[in-house]
A and B are shown apart, each in its own frame.
Chain A
Amino acid sequence: MAKKTYRQAINEAIAQEMRRDHRVIVMGEDNAGGAGAPGESDAWGGVLGVTKGLQPEFGPDRVLDTPISESAFIGAAAGAAATGLRPVAELMFVDFMGVCFDQIFNQAAKFRYMFGGKAVTPLVVRTMYGAGLRAASQHSQCLYPIFTHIPGLKVVLPSTPYEAKGLMIQAIRDDDPVIFFEHKALYDETGDVPDESYTIPFGEANLTREGGDVTIVAFGRMVGFANQAADELKREGIGVTVIDPRTTSPLDTETILDSVGETGRLVVVDEAHPRCSMAADIARLVAEEAFGALKSPIRTITPPHTPVPFSPALEDLYIPSAVHIRDVARSLVKA
């Protein structure tokens, strides 16, 4: 099976869906790049190159560059979705949600409900998130809990190239609005990705490690860190189950509860801010539904309640690490 990067996996998923369904279109700032400029067309293919090559293959009618005008084009994507297209719109960094959130959470997310179940809004909003690139406070956040909070949205966080492709194809084929979070520190990660088209269902968690002593639920980039921690603990004789929920909405609560039922211990690793986070949400779930199974307190691992710092010295302290995850998980078992 071919090794592909996370970036290539997403690009391939979009291209395959565009070949399959002419209603799929792509739009965003610099998604091709160079619109109206004197140099090359498809100059960038997205600011980090994820949509490179799509405009040469599918043409400017299907791969639309936009002005820097998120309210207008994210709203346009929602309107196009409600009227028959299947747009994949790029909100370059999720930090920019502040300038277009109304179009996502008041419009796209609510059409179906407000219109009594008569609207279908097959919209995908791709967006970059996550710390680690020294991109500072307005280009590094993990705002997926905010989107998870909104009924009507689906929220997807692929952790590997394989997940990225299958979840993207599912997102495009899905009839509900989907916010597709791409961790920018994962773009160059490689993994086995089938050339063929495939879909990964939403709301179905992946068990990336299995062990009987402690359950770690981790999201996005944190899944890899949790796996590292699990592998180290395994050598120490501590069995760790790592759960990658893959989607925060819908959330596979059953897999989490089943696993905690077996291990009796839970660590949740979330790169989002601690308050009202996925960590808090899952801790609430388990406290409410599986309290009797717990052998130790639930532990959450998140960054501190601060903006994402710029200086590498600070940012490295800010992001949860595999070592920290390992130590916390070990402390639950050894307690």
Chain B
Amino acid sequence: MSDVMPLVMPKWGLSMEEGTLTAWLVAEGDDIAKGQEVAEIETTKIANVLESPRPGHVRRLVAKVGDTLPVGALLAVLAPASVPEVDIDAFVAGFVAAAPAQEGEAAAIAEARFEHAGRPIAYKLAGAGQEGDPAVLVHGFGGDSDNWLFNIEALAAGRPVYAIDLPGHGHSTKQLDRGDIDEMASAVLALLDEAGLGRVHLVGHSLGAAVALETLARAPGRVASFAGLAPAGLAETVNADFINAFVAAEKRRDVKAALQHLFADPNLVSPAMIEGVQKYKRLEGAREALAAIAATSLPAGRQARLYRDLVAEARRPMLVIWGRNDAVLDPAAAEGLPDSVEVLRLDDVGHMPHMEAAAAVNEALARHFSKVGG
């Protein structure tokens, strides 16, 4: 029976409880490789592709297209062709969903909060207690640590992963002094101090990448590597229409329209994603905080601060990932960087590569982290 292995409903992010199978990408009898795309799963947050965690021979597709199943539920059975049907039947009948759902990955994500300059900073932590250098994930303008729902657990295989809510965002304080990149980098450094992190891999998305670069500039000894996803800080331009629309949007339809700028495939903007943004913007002070950050960090629709020289001369692994269809920050900004900076461009991906191409991003980041010993 040890040859018989399940494929189960994955858990993508803290709040996912169930998913709907929308398509099988393999058939019974197929031999599949590890990492091969096997099914399309839709959650209330986003649709995504399930990659097989192991190679194998597809013996039975248990779940049917359209089924909505809890996390951990049996989707398919992998087993060599030599295993008798009766054993497969027995396996299906006796299957008990286990938690955590995805074996080999870190257990639950913890939420925590600390005071920085008298104000709360919230963060998530996955892979607590693991040995490797921790990674710190810094979301972009208007986002929060939930943006990493497809990444945090995957990246936590082998290292602790921290995802901060920047000041003005998520469950961190909405009271800002200025709302500039310095203030946000101070919060990242405060998290490093709070968690007692000596040396970390910094991963920043969009404006969060500029925050990560500012952190690198201020504490170079504490940064093992940098990865920027659709990073700010490399060129002046930014899609000011998006920023303005996002800041102004209150009603569902306006929020939806603004969010659709973020993805190559606008259908990925789910009701839950829209509601998440609305819920955030309703929090006391959130709208004022967003406006302040936009005004100081993206004044008059331009990026306030550039870090091209720092990126070029950082003397540690530097990775830039950019969707070719990014409508918010022009991927052309990655041109002309020295060879010391690895640039990964993704087709059919917009401004949110870590959501829209989570598997590719997770893999690239894991490789990138491994360039540094530890």
Using a CB–CB cutoff of 8 Å, the interface residues on chain A facing chain B are 1, 162, 166, 192, 194-201, 204-210, 231, 234-237, 255, 258
Contacts and interface: CB of A to CB of B under 8 A. Distances in A.
7 contacts: A162-B279, A192-B15, A196-B284, A197-B283, A197-B284, A199-B282, A208-B271
B67 interface: yes
B66 A234 contact: yes
Interface string B260-283: 000000000001000100010011
Given A207-B271, A255-B252, A196 B68 contact: no
B367 interface: no
B20 A166 contact: no
B252 A196 contact: no
Given A201-B250, A204-B252, A235 B282 contact: no
B171 interface: yes
Contacts of A162: 279
Nearest to B282: A198
Contact of A209 (B15, B66, B253, B271): B271
A198 B252 contact: no
Given A207-B252, A209-B271, A198 B66 contact: no
How many chain B residues sit at the interface, stated as a range, is 10 to 19
B171 A196 contact: yes
A79 B252 CA distance: 37
Interface in B2-24: 15, 20
B214 to A, nearest CB: 27
Contacts of A205: 252
A194 B68 contact: no
Contacts of A209: 271
Given A196-B284, A237-B66, A206 B279 contact: no
A155 B368 CA distance: 55
Contacts of B275: 206
Contacts of B271: 207-210
Given A204-B252, A210-B271, A198 B20 contact: no
Contacts of B20: 234
Nearest to B270: A210
A145 to B, nearest CB: 25
Contact of A235 (B15, B68, B174): B68
B256 to A, nearest CB: 10
B251 A204 contact: yes
Given A1-B171, A207-B271, A194 B283 contact: yes
A44 to B, nearest CB: 30
A162 to B, nearest CB: 7
A194 B66 contact: no
B315 to A, nearest CB: 40
A209 B270 CA distance: 10
A160 to B, nearest CB: 11
Contacts of B66: 234-237
Given A204-B251, A210-B271, A234-B20, A166 B282 contact: yes
A273 B66 CA distance: 36
A88 B364 CA distance: 56
Contacts of B111: 1
A258 to B, nearest CB: 8
A258 B252 CA distance: 12
What 10 A-B pairs come out closest when comparing CB atoms? A198-B282, A197-B284, A198-B283, A196-B283, A210-B271, A235-B66, A207-B271, A196-B284, A199-B282, A235-B68
A107 to B, nearest CB: 32
B192 to A, nearest CB: 24
Given A162-B279, A255-B252, 15 more contacts: A1-B171, A194-B279, A194-B283, A195-B171, A196-B174, A196-B283, A197-B283, A198-B284, A199-B284, A206-B252, A207-B271, A210-B271, A234-B66, A236-B66, A258-B253
A335 to B, nearest CB: 21
Interface string B161-198: 00000000001001000000000000000000000000
Interface in B53-76: 66-68
Given A194-B171, A204-B252, A231 B68 contact: yes
Contacts of B284: 196-199
Nearest to A201: B250
Given A1-B171, A210-B271, A255-B252, A198 B67 contact: no
A255 B271 CA distance: 14
A218 to B, nearest CB: 16
Nearest to B44: A209
Contacts of B15: 192
Contacts of B67: 235
Nearest to B68: A235
Query: Which residue among A198, A204, A207 has the maximum number of chain B CB atoms within 10 Å of its CB?
Result: A198
Contacts of A231: 68
A1 B279 CA distance: 12
A333 to B, nearest CB: 15
